[in-house]
């Protein structure tokens, strides 16, 4: 792994130098057509987006620490539908709709807990943690009730290390294949042994894409992160890798090559992290809404969830090596507070941007070369909806195909 990583890193540093030196976008880079504003406000488009993209996407549901032992479960509603994620008695992580197969009552009503099985609160049907229906009250009154056909409905559930992803589409491509080349790169972070340190969420008054866009570029750091991130990052050396299926990576060099975050000195490290991620600001994006800028001493993970046409939720968590929840490292408190300050900087204009998108003052979004991950994201959305299903006035043209690393 090391040799490959080092070669790659040399190549990446060369690319950073090229980015700093260039006088314009590289030869042949297309003009990016404006992103139509109606993609953020048009109810017809938002319904297509929800049904054809969100309901069929691999979405982060939670961390294995939330289901640390057999019988532990938590409920997630981020996809709209209520889904129970649990660890069964054999240790396997599974997901089911929180939907009793009798008349649809919920099996669990809290946010998290521990159970040996589920008994529906409405008429008492009982299920195992594997979802099998085992007991029905007054069974004699049902005619030909086939227990085998009344198991809980499973939701696809697959792991990226300790990160649990779910997908409501039973025919979805397996998560790791779907992530493709990024999955190999993520090996260096040993995601399977990272513990959950913290998780909190923020409600924001804008369409979810207003915020997603903000986390796909560093063009904004000189303005809104002037007194934070901009002090140590050189956005003009930023390099981008676009991957298939809408995923991507950006890597922004530190302004000074020897810079180390003073707020992490003495914290446990993931010793397999390569030079690039340890000494620069890499940020991975798993389509559609998972953002991860890892460091070797801890990784923030962000998800962006649509809660309405003009509202969304941001969930921000931290995972880290050798974390003991009973005795967290003393630097975590400040580190999380500093991170939150940066987040607030990112969120500050979101509701006003939404107002603009809904006003007559907005014409469309002209993106530059540095912002091409945003365009890549939108192209993928149209591919998932189906190119000829997208209303022509809301469509983005497919122009970045040649710039995707396959
Ligand atoms: S709805 Fe669950 S037992 Fe009736
Ligand atoms: Fe930002």
DSSP code per residue over 299-328: EEEEEEEEEETTEEEEEEEEEETT--TTS-
Within 8 A by CB and 6+ apart from 21, the residues are none
Determine the distance separating the centroid of ligand 2 and the alpha carbon of 371, expressed in angstroms: 13
Average pLDDT, rounded, for the chain: 96
pLDDT digits (tens, 9 = 90+) for 246-285: 999 999 999 988 888 889 999 999 999 999 999 999 999 9
Residue 152: closest CA among 120, 174, 109, 123: 120
pLDDT digits (tens, 9 = 90+) for 53-69: 999 999 999 999 999 99
Contact between 35 and 374 (Cβ < 8 Å): yes
The atom number, within ligand 1, closest to the CA of 103 reads: 1
The C-alpha atoms of residue 335 and residue 342 are separated, in whole angstroms, by 11
Q: What angle do CA 226, 310, 319 make, to 5 degrees?
A: 55
pLDDT of 2 above 50: no
What pLDDT does 3 receive? 46
The atom number, within ligand 1, closest to the CA of 123 reads: 3
Give me the torsion for CA of 61, 64, 68, 69, rounded to 10°. 80
Both tokens of residue 209? 């894409």
- From residue 101, give the alpha-carbon distance in Å to each of 80, 115, 170: 19, 19, 18
Residue 335: its H or E element = helix 332-347
Residue 379: closest CA among 281, 261, 250, 248: 248
Residue 50: closest CA among 374, 393, 405, 385: 385
**Total-model pTM:** 0.96
pLDDT bucket at 325, cuts 50 / 70 / 90: very high
Considering every ligand atom shown, identify the ligand nearest to the alpha carbon of residue 103 and give its number.
Answer: 1
- List, in order of start, the domains of the chain with CATH numbers: 3-57+179-403 (3.90.380.10), 59-160 (2.102.10.10)
The C-alpha atoms of residue 94 and residue 86 are separated, in whole angstroms, by 5
Both tokens of residue 142? 């049902």
Burial of 42 (0-12, 13-18, 19+ CB in 10 A): middle
pLDDT of 158 above 50: yes
Distance from chain centroid for Cα 177 = 16
Ligand 1: which residues within 6 Å by Cβ?
Answer: 100, 102-105, 120, 122-125
Beta-bridge partner residues of 114? 72
Question: What does the buried/exposed string (b/e) look like for 372-403 if buried means 16 or more CB atoms within 10 Å of the residue's CB?
Answer: bbbbbbbbbbbebbeeeebeeebbbeeebeeb
Determine the distance separating the centroid of ligand 1 and the alpha carbon of 106, expressed in angstroms: 8
CA quadruple 85, 87, 92, 96: dihedral positive or negative?
A: negative
Give me the torsion for CA of 221, 225, 231, 232, rounded to 10°. -60
What pLDDT does 7 receive? 60
Mean per-residue pLDDT, 360-367: 95
């Amino acid at each position: 792994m090391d040799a490959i990583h080092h070669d790659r890193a040399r190549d990446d540093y060369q690319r950073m130098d090229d980015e700093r030196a260039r006088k314009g976008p590289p030869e042949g880079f297309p003009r990016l057509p404006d992103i139509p504003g109606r993609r953020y406000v048009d109810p017809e488009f938002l319904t297509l987006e929800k049904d054809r993209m969100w309901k069929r996407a691999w979405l982060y549901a939670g961390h294995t620490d939330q289901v640390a032992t057999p019988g532990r479960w938590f409920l997630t509603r981020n996809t709209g539908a209520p889904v129970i994620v649990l660890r069964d008695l054999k240790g396997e992580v599974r997901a089911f709709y929180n939907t009793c197969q009798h008349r649809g009552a919920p099996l669990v009503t809290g946010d998290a807990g521990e159970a040996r099985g589920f008994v529906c609160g409405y008429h008492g049907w009982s299920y195992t943690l594997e979802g099998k229906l085992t007991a029905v009250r007054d069974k004699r009154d049902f005619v030909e009730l086939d227990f085998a056909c009344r198991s809980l409905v499973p939701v696809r559930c697959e792991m990226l290390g300790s990160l649990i992803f779910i997908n409501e589409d039973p025919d979805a491509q397996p998560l790791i294949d779907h992530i493709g080349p990024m999955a190999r790169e993520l090996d260096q972070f040993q995601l399977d042994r990272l513990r959950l340190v913290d998780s909190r969420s923020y409600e924001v008054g804008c369409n979810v894409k207003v915020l997603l866009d903000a986390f796909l570029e560093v063009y904004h750091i000189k303005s809104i992160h002037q007194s934070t991130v901009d002090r140590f990052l050189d956005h003009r050396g930023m390099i981008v890798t676009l991957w298939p299926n809408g995923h991507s990576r950006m890597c922004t060099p530190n302004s000074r090559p020897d810079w180390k975050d003073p707020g992490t000195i003495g914290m446990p490290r993931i010793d397999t992290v390569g030079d690039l991620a340890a000494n620069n600001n890499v940020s991975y994006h798993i389509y559609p809404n998972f953002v991860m800028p890892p460091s070797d001493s801890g990784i923030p993970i962000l998800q962006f969830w649509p809660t309405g046409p003009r509202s969304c939720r941001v969930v921000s968590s931290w995972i880290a090596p050798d974390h003991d929840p009973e005795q967290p490292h003393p630097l975590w408190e400040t580190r999380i507070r500093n991170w939150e300050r940066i987040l607030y900087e990112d969120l500050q204009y979101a509701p006003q941007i939404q107002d603009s998108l809904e006003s007559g003052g907005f014409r469309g979004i002209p993106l530059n070369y540095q912002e091409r991950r945003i365009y890549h994201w939108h192209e993928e959305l149209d591919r998932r909806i189906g190119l000829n299903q997208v209303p022509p006035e809301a469509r983005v043209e497919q122009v970045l195909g040649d710039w995707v690393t396959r």
